[in-house]
A and B are shown apart, each in its own frame.
Chain A
Amino acid sequence: MKLELRGVTKRFGSFTANDRISLTVEPGEIHALLGENGAGKSTLMNTIYGLYSPDEGEILLDDREVSFNGPGDAVAAGIGMVHQHFMLIPVFTVTESVALGYEPTRAAGLMDMAQARAKVLEISARFGFDVDPDARIEDLPVGAQQRVEIIKALSRDAKVLILDEPTAVLTPQETDELITIMGQLRDSGTSIVFITHKLREVRAVADRITVIRRGAVVGETSPQSTETELAGLMVGREVNLTTLKEPANPQEVSFEVRGLTVLSSTDKVVVDDVDFSMRRGEILVIAGVDGNGQSELAQTILGIRTPVAGSILLDDKDLAPLSVKQRLAAGLGFVPEDRSTDGVIGAFTITENYVLDMYDRPPYAGGPGNVALRLPVMREAAQTQAERFDVRMGSVDDPISTLSGGNQQKVVLAREMSRDLRLFVASQPTRGLDVGSIEFVHRTIIEERDKGTPCLIVSTELDEALNLADRIAVMYRGKIVGIVPASTSRDVLGLMMAGVPADEAQAQAATHQTVMAEADEQAEAEENQ
């Protein structure tokens, strides 16, 4: 089916998320929509899928204009969508998830489970998916959940399939499988819209590429363009894809985690007997697919989770009996994973957010027992730090929620790095940020490292891990699979992210190269010409 957009515009208040976007997806084509975080890709797709209605412009399917009153209409018209955050219900089985909304029924509205089950089996057989129709969604790995989403779309005869950042949660090998599936679908005549901000993937799979920036189409190009060209189009200026850094100068071991075991609220082991140590002046990145215990590990180091076993030693002092406040006082800097819920208080001003963990001590507090807040001192400090960290803002008295994600993150970094740190921990420090902010955050972390602080970074983005790390520890199902140097190849890391031990992964990767790895080699060869 051919999908065509003509001048689609969507505004939220005074903000124009999509500005006169026109684009054509031919039948049997993989069309990549490339753009930074916040460029308006997801808004555009939600408009096509009927979740938003466009303010201007029209959507055409096979040259006929359509308008959708909700996702139900879009699905009926043959559009399927796999959302970045899966639209699956954790307590449902695979069969229930696929059937939802389009339930085969018998008398009295009772479900025909046998028929629903058969449908799941039939589609998974057709594409070689290994999905158990009776498994519960919450028990499935993310890769399998994504396949359930694809089955869901296909079971409704989707002719246009929208994949919103489908590789964000996958290991490189799972990404490979997805690429194979996309190829199969294209060959069977499905049009695919592939939304991403990852340049490498676009070049490997797309037939055509449309780049959008700040809500508008800035160019259409072919996958033969180099990564540098694509990045330039996407960001609007020349960018360095890799952050330049001096080699690490590691000193004595100052931070150690020994036999750390943490349970989830439902008594599942989420961090399983983890051991590692860090030297001053090095960056250790914890890589792995989201949900393998990395977040819990970081939270346990901060002290908002209590381990059932193990110790956390900073400068030979056990942190375990200390409260969060005492740990911060011991020199721990922490950047949480979810900025908007854990990093800042949206309704507070930039100044207030800046002093959030220092407001009760000099120089920000004074008088007997430090009861009085010295507001002018706080303002001035916030002002100085905001300038140093290049926070783009109106005034430090504005609520922090008025800032963009990147600028909010800079405030968090400014706060955490304004103390003398003995250990810096950051969870997903660049999630959802634009390229400019990512560069800035990376540079800041490297500067902190060069001051001699051990930096522990949790990242699910392999690119970030490779870019930032001096060493990479891969976590899988709560265990550290191995700690390897930053020069390790993507394929090896990918296998480790699926639980294969390091040496075995080396051997496997040498014999089975992934599509992406090949594309990389090719790209390198081209750029060197």
Chain B
Amino acid sequence: MSDQTVSPAAVQAEPLKQSTTGVRPISWKYPITYAVLAALAVLFAITLPAGARTHFRLSSGGDFFEIPLVELPSRPAGWILALILVGLAGLAIWQASQRVRTRLWLPLLFGVLFVLAFLVWAGADRGAVIPLVTMLTGALALSVPLIFGAMCGLVGERSGVINIAIEAQLLAGAFLAAVAASVFTSAYMGLVFAPVAGALVGALLVFFSVKYQVNQIIVGVVLNVLIIGLTGFLFSTALTQNPELWNARQQLPRLPIPGLSQIPIIGPVLFNQTILVYLMYLIVGVLNVFLFRSRWGLRTRAVGEHPKAADTVGIKVNRMRVYNVILAGGIAGLGGAFFTIGQGLAFGKEMSAGAGFIALAAMILGRWHPIGALLAALLFGFSTSLGNTLATIGTPVPSEALLMLPYVITIFAVAGFVGRVRPPAANGTPYVK
């Protein structure tokens, strides 16, 4: 070999300039959505009768200070909100035309203001008060199983196993929580057994999908049918024959956090909850840190993205998947417990009512990220709660239309409307050496 080798620097060429501008088509779907919603807000404002008033209740008693009933003149409030929304939509359109990236605050602010504009319109001159705190509490309650479910799906799919059986895990958790709590007459025993039920379903899922490489979607569907059938059968036999022993109501006590729970509005919503909800905060927080900053998280993501690469550095791919899916099952089982002991209800047939699938959608909408999935699940919970509230106060819009909202959002989310969604690359692919 010669010593006249070229130094690397000498051959490093100037990279060619890439003409990216003026080529990529501008994506107009967000600006158009904003514009349509802003137009809707203007429509609300126009149709508001002069002199109408909208009432909001912002307190729930026991706060540091009582906020009196808020009374807004509907028409001016409606117009102000509508104009701000039009402004924000204009900003979004301008940003799109300038190819500026829209920041996260814009959709969040837009969403909050639009909901307010809608409430001002819906509550105008109804004689009814819009119970904001109750609505938010309801929203969180509806979100809790979704959040647990989404975290379960996320841990599984980040390690490469698609989990369609979240529904089954929630239901199994709800069932065993109710039965255990009833038998031991202690809600906390329910909390101990609920994750076991979810983990068992998870174990079945990995047993078939990892060990025997059965199609993961099919295993998931079968597990859903199995658990719905099994819990339904036990419910209509043992649980109905001797409800005092097997299906007596037990409720986890509320544990208000001193101080925090007295903050107006958010205090009672967030910090006057059962241990189950606090556990949920913890799980989301821990996952958010550990998935991205720990050895476990790095290996989990590696196994879900490129299992062969993980194998070549000595990571046991299938073992990792087995552990993670069982762990995830435990998380979903906890979520199931919320249906029964979390709310002080007895177990009822198919009481999870599709929450597992909505959780799956929340995970996708949240792009396989704990915080994203959390926000998506909250959005679903809130829109359901909104529908419920409007059903009670009576509005011009049929409340059923609003109850449809989570499912509509889900379809858009799954169809990729939320932008480029990139699942873990090896998601759903069994690893065979």
Contacts and interface: CB of A to CB of B under 8 A. Distances in A.
A249 to B, nearest CB: 34
B11 A89 contact: no
B8 A177 contact: yes
Interface string A105-117: 1001111010000
A52 to B, nearest CB: 8
A22 to B, nearest CB: 25
Interface stretch (A321-329, A374-382, A507-515): A507-515
B299 interface: yes
8 contacts: A75-B313, A91-B425, A101-B315, A103-B295, A105-B295, A110-B293, A266-B420, A508-B10
Interface in A465-485: 476-479, 481
A269 B315 contact: no
Contacts of B422: 91
A75 B315 CA distance: 12
B23 interface: yes
B53 interface: no
B13 A272 contact: no
A131 interface: no
Given A183-B1, A205-B1, A101 B313 contact: yes
A500 interface: yes
A219 interface: no
A165 B298 CA distance: 28
B16 interface: yes
A100 B11 contact: no
B5 A515 contact: yes
Contact of A100 (B1, B290, B299): B299
A518 interface: yes
A476 to B, nearest CB: 6
A100 to B, nearest CB: 5
A87 interface: yes
B296 A109 contact: yes
* Interface class of chain A by DSSP: mixed
B19 interface: yes
Contacts of A261: 23
A499 B14 contact: yes
Which 3 pairs, one residue from A and one from B, show the smallest C-beta to C-beta distance? Answer: A72-B314, A101-B313, A87-B309
Interface residues of B, number: 44
Contacts of A87: 306, 308-309, 312-313
Interface in A455-505: 476-479, 481, 495, 498-500
Given A89-B302, A89-B305, A500-B13, 16 more contacts: A89-B306, A99-B298, A100-B299, A100-B310, A100-B313, A103-B295, A105-B295, A111-B294, A173-B6, A176-B5, A205-B1, A309-B23, A479-B16, A512-B10, A512-B11, A515-B1
A490 to B, nearest CB: 13
A263 interface: yes
A267 B24 contact: yes
A204 interface: yes
B312 A498 contact: no
Contacts, number: 143
A367 B216 CA distance: 44
Interface string B11-51: 11111101110011100000000000000000000000000
A499 B308 CA distance: 33
A180 B296 CA distance: 37
Given A96-B298, A101-B314, A205-B1, A90 B305 contact: yes
Contacts of A513: 4, 6
B63 interface: no
B101 interface: no
Contacts of A75: 313-314
Contact of A83 (B290, B301, B312): B312
B433 interface: yes
A51 B433 CA distance: 8
Contact of A70 (B16, B20, B314): B314
A491 B375 CA distance: 55
B311 interface: yes
A163 to B, nearest CB: 14
Nearest to A481: B16
Contacts of A135: none
Interface in B301-351: 301-302, 305-306, 308-316
Nearest to B289: A110
Contact of A476 (B16, B23, B312): B16
A111 B314 CA distance: 18
A205 to B, nearest CB: 7
Nearest to B286: A108
Contacts of A51: 311-312, 433
A92 interface: yes
A7 interface: no
Interface in A89-139: 89-92, 96, 99-103, 105, 108-111, 113, 128, 130
